[in-house]
Amino acid sequence: MKILTKIFIGIFIFIIIYFSFNALTTNPNLLNESDSLTYHIPIAESILKGNILNPPNLSHGLGFYPAVGEVILSIFILLGIPLGFFNIVAIIILFFVLKILSDEYGINKYVSNIFSVSVITLNSIIRLIPNQTIDIWLLIFFSLALLFIKKFENEKLKSLLPLGLSLGLIIGVKYSGLVYLLILFLVYFKVIFKKINIKNLIYLFLPILTIGGFWYFRNYLLINNPFYPINILGFTGSSDFQLVETYKPLLTSNGLYLFVEALISEYLIWVLIPIFLFISKSKINKSLIVISVLNFIPFLFFPSDFSRQIITSNMRFLYVSIMPLILLCFISVENTKFEKLLYILSLLSSISILSQFNYYPKLILFWLTIFILIYTNHKK
Protein backbone atom coordinates (compact mmCIF):
# COMPACT_ATOMS: atom_id res chain seq x y z
CA MET A 1 0.00 0.00 0.00
CA LYS A 2 2.86 2.38 0.80
CA ILE A 3 4.42 1.82 -2.62
CA LEU A 4 1.09 2.38 -4.37
CA THR A 5 0.57 5.56 -2.39
CA LYS A 6 4.01 6.82 -3.42
CA ILE A 7 3.14 6.21 -7.07
CA PHE A 8 0.01 8.33 -6.71
CA ILE A 9 1.96 11.05 -4.92
CA GLY A 10 4.53 10.87 -7.71
CA ILE A 11 1.81 11.42 -10.29
CA PHE A 12 0.54 14.39 -8.32
CA ILE A 13 4.01 15.93 -8.04
CA PHE A 14 4.58 15.40 -11.76
CA ILE A 15 1.32 17.21 -12.55
CA ILE A 16 2.36 20.14 -10.36
CA ILE A 17 5.78 20.35 -12.01
CA TYR A 18 4.39 19.95 -15.53
CA PHE A 19 1.77 22.66 -15.22
CA SER A 20 4.16 24.94 -13.34
CA PHE A 21 6.47 24.73 -16.34
CA ASN A 22 3.53 25.60 -18.58
CA ALA A 23 2.54 28.49 -16.32
CA LEU A 24 6.04 29.94 -16.64
CA THR A 25 6.26 29.50 -20.41
CA THR A 26 2.75 30.43 -21.55
CA ASN A 27 0.09 33.02 -20.77
CA PRO A 28 -3.70 33.25 -21.04
CA ASN A 29 -3.54 34.96 -24.42
CA LEU A 30 -1.48 32.12 -25.87
CA LEU A 31 -3.81 29.50 -24.43
CA ASN A 32 -6.83 31.51 -25.62
CA GLU A 33 -9.31 29.88 -23.25
CA SER A 34 -12.60 31.65 -23.88
CA ASP A 35 -14.10 31.95 -20.39
CA SER A 36 -10.82 33.09 -18.84
CA LEU A 37 -10.33 35.88 -21.35
CA THR A 38 -13.99 36.83 -21.71
CA TYR A 39 -14.86 37.44 -18.09
CA HIS A 40 -12.73 35.81 -15.36
CA ILE A 41 -9.61 37.90 -15.98
CA PRO A 42 -11.49 41.13 -16.85
CA ILE A 43 -13.54 40.86 -13.64
CA ALA A 44 -10.36 40.25 -11.61
CA GLU A 45 -8.68 43.26 -13.22
CA SER A 46 -11.75 45.38 -12.52
CA ILE A 47 -11.72 44.35 -8.85
CA LEU A 48 -8.04 45.23 -8.65
CA LYS A 49 -8.90 48.73 -9.89
CA GLY A 50 -11.35 49.14 -7.02
CA ASN A 51 -14.46 48.65 -9.13
CA ILE A 52 -15.98 45.90 -7.04
CA LEU A 53 -19.19 47.94 -6.77
CA ASN A 54 -19.06 48.85 -10.44
CA PRO A 55 -18.83 45.61 -12.43
CA PRO A 56 -17.18 45.76 -15.86
CA ASN A 57 -19.46 46.10 -18.86
CA LEU A 58 -18.91 42.70 -20.45
CA SER A 59 -20.91 40.93 -23.12
CA HIS A 60 -24.03 39.12 -21.93
CA GLY A 61 -23.78 40.92 -18.58
CA LEU A 62 -21.11 38.49 -17.38
CA GLY A 63 -19.41 41.19 -15.33
CA PHE A 64 -22.16 40.84 -12.71
CA TYR A 65 -21.34 37.24 -11.85
CA PRO A 66 -20.44 36.47 -8.20
CA ALA A 67 -16.71 37.02 -8.01
CA VAL A 68 -15.09 35.31 -5.02
CA GLY A 69 -12.97 33.33 -7.48
CA GLU A 70 -11.98 36.49 -9.31
CA VAL A 71 -11.03 38.15 -6.02
CA ILE A 72 -8.54 35.31 -5.54
CA LEU A 73 -7.39 35.72 -9.14
CA SER A 74 -6.90 39.45 -8.60
CA ILE A 75 -4.39 38.65 -5.84
CA PHE A 76 -2.32 36.73 -8.38
CA ILE A 77 -2.43 39.73 -10.71
CA LEU A 78 -1.52 42.11 -7.87
CA LEU A 79 1.47 40.00 -6.83
CA GLY A 80 2.62 39.49 -10.40
CA ILE A 81 2.23 35.72 -10.18
CA PRO A 82 1.75 34.11 -13.61
CA LEU A 83 -1.96 33.40 -13.95
CA GLY A 84 -1.24 29.82 -14.96
CA PHE A 85 -0.59 29.15 -11.27
CA PHE A 86 -4.17 30.05 -10.33
CA ASN A 87 -5.51 26.52 -10.66
CA ILE A 88 -2.20 24.91 -9.73
CA VAL A 89 -2.65 26.45 -6.30
CA ALA A 90 -6.25 25.25 -6.43
CA ILE A 91 -5.38 21.58 -6.97
CA ILE A 92 -2.75 21.71 -4.22
CA ILE A 93 -5.36 23.06 -1.80
CA LEU A 94 -7.90 20.56 -3.12
CA PHE A 95 -5.49 17.68 -2.48
CA PHE A 96 -5.16 18.52 1.21
CA VAL A 97 -8.86 19.30 1.65
CA LEU A 98 -9.86 15.97 0.10
CA LYS A 99 -7.27 14.14 2.15
CA ILE A 100 -8.60 15.61 5.40
CA LEU A 101 -12.18 15.01 4.26
CA SER A 102 -11.53 11.33 3.57
CA ASP A 103 -9.68 11.01 6.87
CA GLU A 104 -12.77 12.36 8.60
CA TYR A 105 -14.85 9.67 6.90
CA GLY A 106 -12.57 7.00 8.34
CA ILE A 107 -10.38 6.25 5.33
CA ASN A 108 -6.80 5.41 6.32
CA LYS A 109 -4.01 7.85 5.51
CA TYR A 110 -2.60 5.85 2.61
CA VAL A 111 -5.94 5.40 0.87
CA SER A 112 -6.83 9.04 1.47
CA ASN A 113 -3.84 9.99 -0.70
CA ILE A 114 -5.06 7.66 -3.44
CA PHE A 115 -8.56 9.12 -3.22
CA SER A 116 -7.30 12.71 -3.39
CA VAL A 117 -5.07 12.11 -6.41
CA SER A 118 -7.82 10.10 -8.11
CA VAL A 119 -10.13 13.11 -7.94
CA ILE A 120 -7.46 15.60 -9.01
CA THR A 121 -6.51 13.46 -12.02
CA LEU A 122 -10.03 13.40 -13.38
CA ASN A 123 -9.66 14.41 -17.00
CA SER A 124 -12.19 17.18 -16.55
CA ILE A 125 -10.10 18.73 -13.77
CA ILE A 126 -6.78 18.32 -15.60
CA ARG A 127 -8.23 20.25 -18.55
CA LEU A 128 -8.88 23.30 -16.37
CA ILE A 129 -5.52 23.57 -14.62
CA PRO A 130 -3.89 25.94 -17.17
CA ASN A 131 -6.95 28.22 -17.20
CA GLN A 132 -8.43 30.82 -14.88
CA THR A 133 -11.86 29.23 -14.57
CA ILE A 134 -13.21 28.85 -11.04
CA ASP A 135 -14.84 25.41 -11.05
CA ILE A 136 -11.98 23.75 -9.13
CA TRP A 137 -12.30 26.43 -6.46
CA LEU A 138 -16.01 25.68 -6.19
CA LEU A 139 -15.13 22.03 -5.57
CA ILE A 140 -12.67 23.13 -2.86
CA PHE A 141 -15.33 25.17 -1.07
CA PHE A 142 -17.91 22.40 -1.42
CA SER A 143 -15.46 19.83 -0.07
CA LEU A 144 -14.69 22.13 2.85
CA ALA A 145 -18.40 22.39 3.61
CA LEU A 146 -18.71 18.59 3.64
CA LEU A 147 -15.64 18.39 5.86
CA PHE A 148 -16.94 20.86 8.43
CA ILE A 149 -20.37 19.23 8.45
CA LYS A 150 -18.75 15.86 9.12
CA LYS A 151 -16.53 17.32 11.84
CA PHE A 152 -19.57 18.93 13.44
CA GLU A 153 -21.40 15.60 13.23
CA ASN A 154 -18.42 13.84 14.84
CA GLU A 155 -18.39 16.52 17.56
CA LYS A 156 -14.88 17.61 16.61
CA LEU A 157 -16.12 21.08 15.80
CA LYS A 158 -18.20 23.14 18.21
CA SER A 159 -18.50 26.30 16.15
CA LEU A 160 -20.37 26.62 12.86
CA LEU A 161 -18.18 29.52 11.76
CA PRO A 162 -15.94 27.40 9.46
CA LEU A 163 -19.05 25.93 7.83
CA GLY A 164 -20.54 29.40 7.42
CA LEU A 165 -17.34 30.61 5.76
CA SER A 166 -17.26 27.69 3.33
CA LEU A 167 -20.94 28.10 2.46
CA GLY A 168 -20.42 31.82 1.91
CA LEU A 169 -17.59 31.01 -0.47
CA ILE A 170 -19.76 28.48 -2.31
CA ILE A 171 -22.50 30.97 -3.13
CA GLY A 172 -19.95 33.72 -3.72
CA VAL A 173 -18.06 31.85 -6.41
CA LYS A 174 -20.95 30.88 -8.71
CA TYR A 175 -24.70 31.35 -8.89
CA SER A 176 -25.09 27.58 -8.83
CA GLY A 177 -23.59 27.68 -5.34
CA LEU A 178 -26.99 28.81 -4.05
CA VAL A 179 -28.49 25.51 -5.15
CA TYR A 180 -25.67 23.52 -3.57
CA LEU A 181 -26.10 25.45 -0.32
CA LEU A 182 -29.80 24.57 -0.24
CA ILE A 183 -28.99 20.92 -0.98
CA LEU A 184 -26.47 20.77 1.87
CA PHE A 185 -29.01 22.30 4.24
CA LEU A 186 -31.66 19.84 3.06
CA VAL A 187 -29.51 16.72 3.42
CA TYR A 188 -27.70 17.69 6.62
CA PHE A 189 -30.41 19.74 8.31
CA LYS A 190 -30.49 17.58 11.44
CA VAL A 191 -26.70 17.56 11.71
CA ILE A 192 -26.29 21.30 11.28
CA PHE A 193 -29.16 22.40 13.48
CA LYS A 194 -29.13 19.68 16.15
CA LYS A 195 -27.29 21.87 18.67
CA ILE A 196 -28.09 25.26 17.28
CA ASN A 197 -28.02 28.39 19.41
CA ILE A 198 -27.96 32.11 18.77
CA LYS A 199 -24.18 32.21 18.67
CA ASN A 200 -23.92 29.42 16.12
CA LEU A 201 -26.73 30.92 14.05
CA ILE A 202 -24.69 34.10 13.77
CA TYR A 203 -21.53 32.13 13.03
CA LEU A 204 -23.35 30.21 10.31
CA PHE A 205 -25.31 32.90 8.53
CA LEU A 206 -23.14 36.01 8.92
CA PRO A 207 -20.39 34.70 6.60
CA ILE A 208 -23.02 33.40 4.17
CA LEU A 209 -24.66 36.82 3.97
CA THR A 210 -21.43 38.82 3.84
CA ILE A 211 -19.01 36.73 1.77
CA GLY A 212 -21.63 35.19 -0.49
CA GLY A 213 -24.65 37.43 -0.22
CA PHE A 214 -22.65 40.59 -0.97
CA TRP A 215 -22.62 39.91 -4.71
CA TYR A 216 -26.39 39.38 -4.83
CA PHE A 217 -27.10 42.52 -2.78
CA ARG A 218 -24.76 44.49 -5.02
CA ASN A 219 -26.52 43.33 -8.18
CA TYR A 220 -29.94 44.03 -6.73
CA LEU A 221 -28.93 47.56 -5.78
CA LEU A 222 -27.29 48.24 -9.13
CA ILE A 223 -29.67 46.57 -11.55
CA ASN A 224 -32.65 45.24 -9.55
CA ASN A 225 -31.72 41.63 -10.26
CA PRO A 226 -29.56 39.72 -7.74
CA PHE A 227 -28.97 37.00 -10.35
CA TYR A 228 -28.14 39.23 -13.29
CA PRO A 229 -27.71 38.50 -16.20
CA ILE A 230 -30.03 35.50 -15.73
CA ASN A 231 -33.78 35.79 -16.25
CA ILE A 232 -35.12 33.96 -13.21
CA LEU A 233 -37.77 34.24 -10.49
CA GLY A 234 -39.36 37.22 -12.21
CA PHE A 235 -36.13 39.23 -12.33
CA THR A 236 -35.22 40.69 -15.70
CA GLY A 237 -31.86 39.59 -17.02
CA SER A 238 -29.68 40.63 -19.93
CA SER A 239 -31.44 40.58 -23.29
CA ASP A 240 -28.46 38.90 -24.96
CA PHE A 241 -28.04 36.22 -22.28
CA GLN A 242 -29.75 33.25 -23.88
CA LEU A 243 -29.81 29.86 -22.21
CA VAL A 244 -30.17 26.45 -23.78
CA GLU A 245 -30.62 24.23 -20.75
CA THR A 246 -28.52 21.06 -20.70
CA TYR A 247 -31.53 18.77 -20.51
CA LYS A 248 -32.74 19.90 -23.96
CA PRO A 249 -29.79 18.45 -25.91
CA LEU A 250 -30.10 15.32 -23.77
CA LEU A 251 -33.61 14.80 -25.10
CA THR A 252 -32.18 14.21 -28.57
CA SER A 253 -30.48 10.97 -29.56
CA ASN A 254 -27.32 12.75 -30.73
CA GLY A 255 -27.21 14.95 -27.63
CA LEU A 256 -27.58 11.94 -25.34
CA TYR A 257 -24.82 10.14 -27.22
CA LEU A 258 -22.51 13.16 -26.87
CA PHE A 259 -23.31 13.36 -23.15
CA VAL A 260 -22.43 9.70 -22.54
CA GLU A 261 -19.30 10.07 -24.67
CA ALA A 262 -18.25 13.16 -22.72
CA LEU A 263 -19.01 11.52 -19.38
CA ILE A 264 -16.77 8.57 -20.22
CA SER A 265 -13.97 10.71 -21.66
CA GLU A 266 -13.92 13.09 -18.69
CA TYR A 267 -14.49 10.64 -15.82
CA LEU A 268 -13.16 7.36 -17.25
CA ILE A 269 -13.56 4.46 -14.80
CA TRP A 270 -15.60 6.52 -12.39
CA VAL A 271 -18.69 6.08 -14.55
CA LEU A 272 -18.59 2.53 -13.15
CA ILE A 273 -19.11 3.71 -9.57
CA PRO A 274 -22.69 2.37 -9.34
CA ILE A 275 -21.37 -1.10 -10.22
CA PHE A 276 -18.69 -0.90 -7.52
CA LEU A 277 -21.24 0.19 -4.96
CA PHE A 278 -23.55 -2.65 -5.94
CA ILE A 279 -20.99 -5.45 -5.88
CA SER A 280 -19.24 -4.26 -2.72
CA LYS A 281 -22.42 -4.97 -0.71
CA SER A 282 -21.10 -2.71 2.01
CA LYS A 283 -23.10 -0.34 4.14
CA ILE A 284 -23.69 2.73 1.99
CA ASN A 285 -23.49 6.28 3.26
CA LYS A 286 -26.92 7.43 2.12
CA SER A 287 -26.17 11.11 2.64
CA LEU A 288 -23.35 11.04 0.09
CA ILE A 289 -25.57 9.31 -2.46
CA VAL A 290 -28.36 11.84 -1.94
CA ILE A 291 -25.89 14.73 -2.19
CA SER A 292 -24.50 13.34 -5.43
CA VAL A 293 -27.91 12.77 -7.01
CA LEU A 294 -29.31 16.13 -5.94
CA ASN A 295 -26.17 17.94 -7.14
CA PHE A 296 -26.70 16.37 -10.56
CA ILE A 297 -30.14 17.94 -10.97
CA PRO A 298 -28.94 21.58 -11.33
CA PHE A 299 -26.56 20.40 -14.06
CA LEU A 300 -29.59 19.71 -16.25
CA PHE A 301 -30.46 23.41 -16.24
CA PHE A 302 -27.00 24.87 -16.81
CA PRO A 303 -26.34 26.61 -20.14
CA SER A 304 -25.35 24.30 -22.95
CA ASP A 305 -25.86 23.67 -26.64
CA PHE A 306 -25.77 20.76 -29.05
CA SER A 307 -22.02 20.78 -29.77
CA ARG A 308 -19.54 18.16 -28.60
CA GLN A 309 -17.15 20.84 -27.34
CA ILE A 310 -19.68 22.53 -25.05
CA ILE A 311 -21.17 19.29 -23.75
CA THR A 312 -17.68 18.01 -22.95
CA SER A 313 -16.70 21.30 -21.34
CA ASN A 314 -19.83 21.23 -19.19
CA MET A 315 -18.69 18.04 -17.51
CA ARG A 316 -16.90 20.35 -15.07
CA PHE A 317 -20.30 21.22 -13.63
CA LEU A 318 -20.48 17.66 -12.29
CA TYR A 319 -17.49 17.94 -9.95
CA VAL A 320 -19.70 18.35 -6.89
CA SER A 321 -21.73 15.33 -7.95
CA ILE A 322 -18.88 12.99 -8.91
CA MET A 323 -16.53 13.71 -5.99
CA PRO A 324 -18.97 12.49 -3.28
CA LEU A 325 -19.55 9.34 -5.33
CA ILE A 326 -15.83 8.65 -5.59
CA LEU A 327 -15.50 9.20 -1.85
CA LEU A 328 -18.39 6.83 -1.28
CA CYS A 329 -16.75 4.27 -3.53
CA PHE A 330 -13.51 4.33 -1.51
CA ILE A 331 -15.45 4.08 1.74
CA SER A 332 -17.56 1.17 0.50
CA VAL A 333 -14.82 -1.08 -0.88
CA GLU A 334 -12.43 -0.67 2.04
CA ASN A 335 -11.70 -4.04 3.63
CA THR A 336 -13.53 -5.91 0.86
CA LYS A 337 -12.15 -8.15 -1.87
CA PHE A 338 -12.72 -5.35 -4.38
CA GLU A 339 -10.44 -2.92 -2.58
CA LYS A 340 -7.26 -3.70 -4.54
CA LEU A 341 -9.19 -3.74 -7.80
CA LEU A 342 -10.42 -0.21 -7.15
CA TYR A 343 -6.91 1.02 -6.40
CA ILE A 344 -5.51 -0.57 -9.57
CA LEU A 345 -8.27 0.93 -11.70
CA SER A 346 -7.73 4.28 -9.99
CA LEU A 347 -4.04 4.08 -10.85
CA LEU A 348 -4.75 3.23 -14.48
CA SER A 349 -7.20 6.11 -14.67
CA SER A 350 -4.69 8.54 -13.17
CA ILE A 351 -1.87 7.36 -15.44
CA SER A 352 -4.02 7.48 -18.57
CA ILE A 353 -4.44 11.25 -18.39
CA LEU A 354 -0.66 11.71 -18.68
CA SER A 355 -0.74 10.57 -22.29
CA GLN A 356 -2.35 13.85 -23.39
CA PHE A 357 0.57 15.94 -22.07
CA ASN A 358 3.09 17.24 -24.59
CA TYR A 359 6.06 14.92 -25.11
CA TYR A 360 8.30 17.90 -24.46
CA PRO A 361 8.74 18.73 -21.63
CA LYS A 362 6.90 15.68 -20.25
CA LEU A 363 9.88 13.35 -20.47
CA ILE A 364 12.32 15.71 -18.75
CA LEU A 365 9.83 16.63 -16.04
CA PHE A 366 8.98 12.98 -15.49
CA TRP A 367 12.59 12.18 -14.65
CA LEU A 368 12.77 15.28 -12.48
CA THR A 369 9.81 13.92 -10.52
CA ILE A 370 11.54 10.55 -10.13
CA PHE A 371 14.65 12.31 -8.84
CA ILE A 372 12.63 14.29 -6.29
CA LEU A 373 10.92 11.13 -5.03
CA ILE A 374 14.20 9.23 -4.72
CA TYR A 375 15.88 12.17 -2.99
CA THR A 376 13.08 12.72 -0.46
CA ASN A 377 12.89 8.99 0.26
CA HIS A 378 16.67 8.88 0.80
CA LYS A 379 16.49 11.85 3.19
CA LYS A 380 13.91 10.00 5.27
Strands (E), the chain: none
Domain presence at residue 166:
yes
Domain presence at residue 88:
no
Q: What is the rounded distance in angstroms from the CA atom of residue 291 to the CA atom of residue 320?
A: 9
Model pTM greater than 0.85? yes
Convert the pLDDT of each residue in 158-217 to its tens digit: 889 999 999 999 999 999 999 999 999 999 998 888 877 888 899 999 999 999 999 999
Residue 75: pLDDT band with limits 50, 70, 90: very high
The DSSP-derived string for 194-239 is TT--HHHHHHHHHHIIIIIHHHHHHHHHHHS-TTTTS-BTTB---T
Most confidently modeled range among 8-12, 162-166, 370-374: 162-166
Nearest Cα to 210, choosing from 167, 163, 168, 166?
168
Residue 62: pLDDT band with limits 50, 70, 90: very high
Using CB atoms within 10 Å of the CB of residue 107, give its burial: 0 to 12 exposed, 13 to 18 middle, 19+ buried.
Answer: buried
Q: What is the rounded distance in angstroms from the CA atom of residue 77 to the CA atom of residue 157?
A: 35
Domain presence at residue 34:
no
Q: What is the rounded distance in angstroms from the CA atom of residue 103 to the CA atom of residue 305?
A: 39
What is the pLDDT at residue 232?
Answer: 86
Q: How many domains does the chain have?
A: 1
Convert the pLDDT of each residue in 200-234 to its tens digit: 899 999 999 999 999 999 999 999 999 999 888 88
Domain presence at residue 217:
yes
Full domain range(s) for residue 152: 135-226
Residue 308: pLDDT band with limits 50, 70, 90: confident
Percent of the chain beyond pLDDT 90? 54
Domain presence at residue 236:
no
Asked if residue 367 has pLDDT above 80, the reply is: no
Domain presence at residue 155:
yes
Domain presence at residue 219:
yes
- For 245, phi then psi, to 5°, come to -60, 145
Domain presence at residue 144:
yes
Residue 336: pLDDT band with limits 50, 70, 90: confident
Sign of CA dihedral 374, 376, 378, 380: negative
Asked if residue 380 has pLDDT above 80, the reply is: no
Residue 370: pLDDT band with limits 50, 70, 90: low
